[in-house]
Structure 1
Amino acid sequence: MKDRLVLVAYLLGWWVVRTLPEKMAYSLFWSLGEFVHKRNGKSIQRLRSNLHVVKPHLDELELETLVAQSMSSYMRYWCDTFRIQNWSKERILGTVTTTNQELLLNPMKEGKGVVIALPHSGNWDHAGAYFCSLGIPLVSVAERLKPEALFQKFLRHREAMGFEILSLDSRSFATLVKRAREKRLIALVADRDLSQSGIDVKFFGKNARMPAGPALLAIKTGIPIVVAHVSCTNQGIHIDFHPVDVPSEGTESERISATVQATADLFAQGISEHPEDWHMLQRIWVDEKQVHAEGSR
């Protein structure tokens, strides 16, 4: 019954947001963000804690202002995501600016695959729609949502924009390797480990774990790995591309760890520059006591 109610609520909200006049839709989501912020639930408390690590020198008022800005950005993400299927190709292309885009385009022109690693910043659906509008086939992985019908709705939504979405399971990596060898663009959101088998990294000076997937793909297949940081602009989004250096020496495990750490460093750089667009409402850092306990087992 609960799953059914969640599904109905999402579908109703999706329909309403797509049919409302644009200004009214964004105003509604902005108000919703204000309401959630003022309620100060667990997700807001976690967001505040995460942003405090990113910007530890902010005073209480400055930090709270940043939290409010982040929620506003997060609500804009959802409103954009619900409405983007209504957008023309011209609007998608016209609302995106980039830096170092050749890091993506040149390998694709040369017939190579590329793996793009992204943090939960800006609107990665908008970025994906932009890649697809350039005629670049894009593959990504998504965590399976409950209820199943909701997952299928999001799946169809992204497939309609040109994405190929793989469910996060034991078979997804083998398919990604195949797609890499087929010269596809593989885009993976990679600043939070969902597998419980992530790589230990230092992230803003604290212990965190991030998935090995992008690094492992680059090392196994030889394709370049690029970090793409997405931030919001008045017109849409900006995508900042940076190459990730993959070590040529050492064991595979050492090379993977070094590559994931280099990726984490680039994530931190982009997030520091645009902290209001980092939508991390979940736990990201590993408790020091937990690290020591796991190390003593």
Structure 2
Amino acid sequence: MRGPGGRRLAERTGERLSDALYGLGWGTVKKLPEPVAVRLGQTIADTVWKRRGTGVLQLERNLARVVPDAGPERLTALSRAGMRSYMRYWMESFRLPVWSEERISGGFAPKDVHHLMEALSAGRGVIIALPHLGNWDLAGAWVNTALRMPFTTVMERLKPESLYDRFVAYRVGLGMEVLPHTGGSAFGVLARRLRAGGMVCLVADRDLSASGTEVTFFGERTRMPPGPAILAQQTGAALLPVTLWFDRSPVMQGRVHPPIEVPDSGNRREKASVMTQALADVFAGGIAEHPEDWHMLQRLWLADLDPAKPPAEGARETT
């Protein structure tokens, strides 16, 4: 039986391996011709999918909520397509630092951008809230390149620290200001940026604090971060949900949804709850339309995070 020291050694070994593999990806994949990188990504995705590891199995459990009427064959096909989509995200991300401005600008075709431009024209700060759909790094690079709009984001601290530093350097290189999720005063910095008319982009379909706002998502209870809603209340910034998806072309698609309005009544917490639920509903609509592009390989719903807690009544109904 492995003791605490042995477990910690194994964790450190795994962390160093992860760091080395990501370093290899950024150092090697970006040098490959694009068709070669695409085929490599699909091969890796299919290999990982066939091994039926923890991430793939959890992805299928998550997709079973998104597509509740899907049989085993449909879920299997969706999870395979999901792993290919997920690896497309990584292959593109490894190559983004060497893409030209023209390639970045032409690599994303968002719809209804007028919602974003109207808020910016009014001098308001803008909060872009996204689920783990498509390639959010490419969307961010497009904002910086095509709109010439700098923005601030928040990133989960990764282990080892060297891997976290790699990701920060990568995103800074794409024109983002990156704040750590913990160990700092991220909320205050975000609020200042928004009050100055700036933009903040947050991936907001998974709570990292275990104390987020409970919402109903595909008929079951989960938690999502209330930060986007609270920032919108406190700064007057527009809260805009954005959904992304891939199609068969190399161009990623996306949609800027209408702003989530601050309710007229209720205290700050009650308003944040209503707004976070509204975000969850928009996210659910985008994920239901493109389930294979939702890269959620982690446990999300409370029934999975706390198996002793029964799912909400009507858990099989979709939103």
Letter in 1 for 2:133: S
Q: Is the CA contact 2:221–2:301 (under 8 Å) kept in the aligned structure 1? A: yes
**Partners of 1:6 and 1:71 in 2: how far apart?**
18
Which runs of no fewer than 5 residues in structure 1 stay unpaired?
293-297
Cα distance, 1:291 vs structure 2: 4.6
Cα distance, 1:157 vs structure 2: 0.9
- Secondary structure of 2:230's partner? helix
- 2:185 counterpart of 1:171: yes
Runs of 4+ with deviation above 6 angstroms: none
1:146 to 150, 155, 159: 159
- 2:287 counterpart of 1:274: no
Instruction: Map 1:108-127; keep pairs closer than 5 Å.
Output: 108-127=120-139
Over residues 135-194 of structure 1, what are the superposed CA-to-partner deviations in whole Å (9 max), with x where a residue is unaligned? 111110000111111111111111111100100025111111111112111010000000
Instruction: Map 1:1-297; keep pairs closer than 5 Å.
Output: 2=13, 3-133=15-145, 134-169=147-182, 170-233=184-247, 234-242=249-257, 243-287=259-303, 290-291=308-309
**Aligned length, in residue pairs:** 293
Q: Is the CA contact 1:192–1:210 (under 8 Å) kept in the aligned structure 2? A: yes
**Partners of 1:7 and 1:262 in 2: how far apart?**
37
Letter in 2 for 1:208: T
**Partners of 2:122 and 2:261 in 1: how far apart?**
19
Cα distance, 1:290 vs structure 2: 4.6
- Secondary structure of 2:302's partner? coil
Question: How many percent of aligned residue pairs carry the same amino acid?
Answer: 42
**Partners of 2:32 and 2:268 in 1: how far apart?**
52
**Partners of 1:175 and 1:71 in 2: how far apart?**
35
- Secondary structure of 1:37's partner? helix
Q: Is the CA contact 1:92–1:126 (under 8 Å) kept in the aligned structure 2? A: yes
Letter in 2 for 1:265: D
Q: Is the CA contact 1:245–1:262 (under 8 Å) kept in the aligned structure 2? A: no
Which runs of no fewer than 5 residues in structure 2 stay unpaired?
1-11, 311-319
**Partners of 2:65 and 2:99 in 1: how far apart?**
36
Letter in 2 for 1:101: V
Cα distance, 1:8 vs structure 2: 2.0
**Partners of 2:150 and 2:256 in 1: how far apart?**
18
1:295 alignment partner in structure 2: none
Closer, same or farther in 2 for the Cα pair 1:87/1:106, shift >3 Å? same
Q: Is the CA contact 1:190–1:211 (under 8 Å) kept in the aligned structure 2? A: yes
- Secondary structure of 1:122's partner? coil
**Partners of 2:124 and 2:52 in 1: how far apart?**
47
Q: Is the CA contact 1:7–1:149 (under 8 Å) kept in the aligned structure 2? A: yes
**Partners of 2:46 and 2:17 in 1: how far apart?**
24
**Partners of 1:129 and 1:224 in 2: how far apart?**
20
- Secondary structure of 2:210's partner? coil
Letter in 2 for 1:140: T
**Partners of 1:6 and 1:270 in 2: how far apart?**
31
Q: Is the CA contact 1:138–1:184 (under 8 Å) kept in the aligned structure 2? A: yes
Closer, same or farther in 2 for the Cα pair 1:58/1:100, shift >3 Å? same
Letter in 2 for 1:240: R
Over residues 251-280 of structure 1, what are the superposed CA-to-partner deviations in whole Å (9 max), with x where a residue is unaligned? 111100000000000000000011110000
